[in-house]
């Protein structure tokens, strides 16, 4: 994977230090705790001390740069370390900085919510989040790259849309990833995400979730399968996850839906 998410809880007993000099880019996203102060040193920029750092503070350390940080407090500090391969940004240099990034914080927090799930929807969401994080990092912290080649498709043709509909309709329990879907359309992953949203008015994750809910409705209305069996047949990881998602999408529980159909 081009980006690795490492969620860490660090116990502070007065202070703690960390030092880096790695071949990959490192971004540290502060997720919470009662840290009294944090001091950063980054090669090529002045040292910076932050009193009472807030959630969403990000420390960006480019590959092959030296950096050090010291946190002070008596608490548990929670953060996510993003390890980004140089190739993930097209070999473009990353801008060293310490700043607040609410969007990156929200994306990382959502990844934390789903990282232990292994159902199809979660896997697609994990890949979507990873790609969104990559694009965001590239756009905010790296110089702009050259535009997409003029001869590469940027919209999904009718044939490509039909192929994707058929593939996703038959793949509730399969391992689906964005790279494979983008390859089917002959696009890079970031271009595919935008083209898919324009064609289907939904992200791949939202579209697949809608398909699974529609399939569950058919099973609830037309079969005597139990709720647990319907949940598994529609590709949900657990009956409770199915029930919660169904209620959020449809407005009633699966059992209530069945009684009124």
- Domains in the chain, start-ordered, CATH in brackets? 3-140 (2.60.120.280), 150-201 (no CATH), 207-259 (1.10.10.60)
Mean pLDDT of the 217-232 span: 93
211 closest CA partner among 235, 232, 188 = 235
Torsion of CA 221, 225, 228, 229, to 10 degrees: -110
> What is the pLDDT, as a whole number, of residue 46?
55
Strand partners, 78: 9, 32
Mean predicted lDDT score pLDDT of the chain: 82
Nearest Cα to 199, choosing from 253, 160, 245, 256? Answer: 160
Kindly tell me if the per-residue pLDDT of 225 is higher than 90. Answer: yes
Q: Decide: 74 and 14 in contact? Cβ < 8 Å.
A: yes
pTM exceeds 0.85 for this model: no
Query: Can you give the pLDDT at residue 43?
Result: 57
Say what the pLDDT of residue 95 is: 85
pLDDT of residue 145: 46
Name the phi and psi angles at 165, rounded to 5. -60, -45
Judge whether residue 174 has pLDDT over 60.
no
Query: Lowest mean pLDDT: which of 95-99, 120-124, 172-176, 220-224?
Result: 172-176
What separation in angstroms does the CA of 44 have from each of 19, 61, 96, 181? Answer: 16, 11, 8, 41
Quick: pLDDT tens for 89-109: 876 778 888 888 999 999 999
Spatial neighbors of 41 by CB under 8 A, at least 6 apart, are: 47, 67, 68, 69
């Amino acid at each position: 994977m081009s980006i690795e998410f490492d969620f860490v809880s660090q116990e502070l007993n007065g202070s703690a230090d960390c030092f880096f000099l790695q071949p990959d880019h490192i971004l540290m996203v502060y997720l919470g705790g009662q840290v009294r102060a944090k001091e950063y040193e980054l090669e090529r920029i002045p040292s910076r001390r932050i009193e009472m750092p807030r959630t969403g503070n990000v420390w960006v350390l480019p590959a092959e740069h030296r950096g050090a940080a010291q946190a002070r407090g008596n608490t548990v500090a929670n953060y996510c370390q993003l390890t980004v391969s140089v190739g993930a940004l097209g070999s473009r240099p990353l801008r060293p900085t310490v700043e607040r990034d609410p969007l990156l914080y929200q994306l990382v927090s959502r990844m934390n919510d789903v990282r232990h799930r292994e159902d199809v929807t979660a896997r697609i969401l994990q890949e979507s989040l990873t790609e969104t994080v990559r694009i965001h990092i590239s756009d905010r912290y790296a110089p702009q790259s050259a535009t997409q080649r003029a001869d590469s498709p940027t919209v999904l043709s009718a044939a490509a849309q039909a192929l994707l509909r058929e593939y996703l309709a038959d793949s509730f329990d399969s391992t689906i990833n964005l790279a494979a879907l983008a390859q089917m359309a002959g696009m890079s992953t970031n271009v595919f995400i935008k083209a898919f949203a324009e064609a289907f008015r939904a992200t791949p994750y939202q579209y697949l979730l809608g398909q699974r809910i529609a399939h569950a409705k058919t099973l609830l209305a037309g079969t005597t399968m139990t709720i647990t069996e319907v949940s598994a047949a529609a590709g949900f990881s657990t009956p409770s996850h199915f029930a919660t998602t169904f209620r959020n999408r449809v407005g009633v529980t699966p059992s209530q839906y069945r009684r009124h159909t």
